[in-house]
């Protein structure tokens, strides 16, 4: 796909994406102390969670899989809507050696269908178990006062944004522990867009991740909000309240995975980016790639919309990577 067509498609999709914006200011003054972008600050921001039991609720079958929903108590309760983590699962029956794939969706997602379109058919054919995560403040976890799915995940409310990321990382780590204890096998964490940033953060605090795949990911959330169209309304909200880029970076530096060393070995990391991505700047993605010692990095000739347009190729490349490494 050439650059002009990619840019046009991204612009059309971006216009619809940016229509979802807050009708009122989300800004709140920062009351608590910020986390230093050090290993000590990382441990304070993302402490190791305790293992909780996960409730599986079967609803039917998908080929040779049991499918259903799962839930468990969140480790960080921002409000009542966030008390339970929810998601969908597809589990192979009576399989000894197991590969568990955790798929983390993108910002403003209204459902889990995009992740399932990407990976469900091909990964189930390979015998992998799949868990599709529902992030805080998205879908059924939206606050009643929220205007759209994901509004309270990233906003001009600086502290709430940090807390939402802390919660997402904590919840997924709990799922990893449960899978390791109850099912054994290997755990693969795949993040898409915002999910890629969260997956990367998980990898710098959690050693139980066997493979990491990050698709069309951002690295520096402050940079994305300040310098790409997806953050225009948030940037305006912050500027209206006297917050500049430098200040935002100081607060959100703890959410920038390139500042830290991943606990997943370089050989077990796959990064995927679009050369013409207008949501996530390639330079930002490459900053992570460089800081992490240049793990495998696939570049598609497309924009962010390549997540949908290249879904068969993404599924194929990711499956080949997993099979090769495991």
Beta bridge partners of 134: none
Nearest residue to 303 via CA among 6, 55, 77, 25: 6
Mean per-residue pLDDT, 111-127: 95
Note if the pTM is more than 0.75.
Answer: yes
CA dist., res. 26 & res. 152, Å (int): 8
Query: Span 3-325: which CATH code?
Result: 3.40.50.1820
Q: How many CB atoms lie within 10 A of CB 176?
A: 23
HSE (side-chain half, CA atoms, 13 Å) at 199 = 34
Report which of 318, 90, 323, 98 is spatially closest to residue 213, judged by C-alpha positions: 318
Query: SS3 sequence, the chain?
Result: CCHHHHHHHHHHHHHHHHHCCCCCCCCCCCCCCCCCCCHHHHHHHCCCCCCCCCEEEEEEEECCEEEEEEEEECCCCCCHHHCEEEEEEEEECCCCCCEEEEEECCCCCCCCHHHHHHHHHHHHHCCCEEEEECCCCCHHHCCCCCCCCCCCCCCCCHHHHHHHHHHHHHHHHHHHHHHHHHCCCEEEEEEECHHHHHHHHHHCCCCCCCEEEEECCCCCHHHHHHHCHHHHHHHHHHHHCCCCHHHHHHHHHHHCHHHCCCCCCHHHEEEEEECCCCCCCHHHHHHHHHHCCCCEEEEECCCCCHHHHCHHHHHHHHHHHHHHHC
Of 30-34, 235-239, 313-317, minimum mean pLDDT range: 30-34
Q: How many CA atoms lie within 13 A of 119 on its CB side?
A: 30
Mean pLDDT of 284-293: 98
CA nearest to 196, candidates 174, 185, 212: 212
The better pLDDT of the pair 81, 24 is held by 24
| pLDDT tens digits along 224-248 | 999 999 999 999 999 999 999 999 9
Indicate the average pLDDT of the chain.
92
pLDDT tens-place string over residues 143-171: 888 999 999 999 999 999 999 999 999 99
Q: How far is CA 127 from CA 119, 178, 311, in A?
A: 12, 19, 19
pLDDT value at position 296?
A: 98
Alpha carbons 88 and 109: distance in angstroms, whole number: 15
Q: Would you place residue 83 in the very low, low, confident or very high pLDDT band (cuts 50, 70, 90)?
A: low
pLDDT at res. 96: 67
Domain locations along the chain: 3-325
Asked whether the predicted pLDDT for residue 33 surpasses 90, the reply is: no
Confidence of residue 76 (pLDDT cuts 50, 70, 90): low
Per-residue pLDDT band at 80 (split at 50, 70, 90): very low
């Amino acid at each position: 796909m050439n650059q002009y067509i990619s840019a046009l498609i991204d612009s059309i999709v971006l216009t619809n994406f940016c229509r979802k914006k807050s009708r009122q200011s989300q800004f709140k003054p920062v009351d608590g102390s910020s986390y230093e972008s050090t290993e000590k600050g990382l441990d304070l921001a993302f402490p190791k969670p305790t293992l909780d039991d996960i409730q599986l609720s079967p609803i039917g079958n998908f080929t040779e899989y049991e499918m259903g929903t799962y839930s468990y108590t969140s480790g960080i309760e921002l409000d009542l809507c966030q008390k339970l983590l929810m998601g969908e699962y597809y589990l192979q029956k009576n399989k000894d050696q197991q590969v568990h794939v955790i798929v983390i969706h993108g910002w403003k997602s209204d459902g889990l269908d995009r992740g399932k379109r990407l990976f469900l058919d091909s990964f189930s054919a390979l015998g992998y178990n799949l868990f599709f995560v529902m992030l805080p403040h998205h879908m059924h976890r939206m606050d009643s006062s929220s205007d759209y799915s994901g509004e309270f995940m990233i906003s001009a409310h600086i502290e709430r944004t940090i807390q939402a990321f802390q919660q997402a990382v904590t919840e997924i780590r709990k799922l990893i522990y449960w899978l390791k204890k109850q099912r054994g096998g290997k755990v693969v964490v795949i993040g898409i867009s915002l999910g890629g940033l969260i997956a990367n953060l998980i990898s710098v605090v959690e050693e139980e991740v066997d493979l990491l795949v990050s698709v069309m990911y951002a690295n520096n959330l402050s940079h994305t909000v300040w310098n790409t169209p997806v953050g225009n309304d948030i940037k305006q909200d912050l500027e209206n309240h006297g917050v500049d880029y430098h200040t935002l970076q100081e607060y959100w530096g703890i959410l920038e995975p390139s500042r830290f060393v991943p606990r997943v070995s370089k050989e077990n990391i796959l990064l995927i980016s679009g050369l013409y991505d207008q949501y996530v700047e390639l330079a930002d993605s490459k900053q992570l790639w460089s800081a992490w010692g240049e793990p495998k990095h696939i570049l598609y000739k497309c924009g962010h919309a390549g997540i949908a347009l290249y879904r068969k190729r993404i599924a194929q490349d990711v499956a080949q990577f997993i099979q090769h490494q495991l």
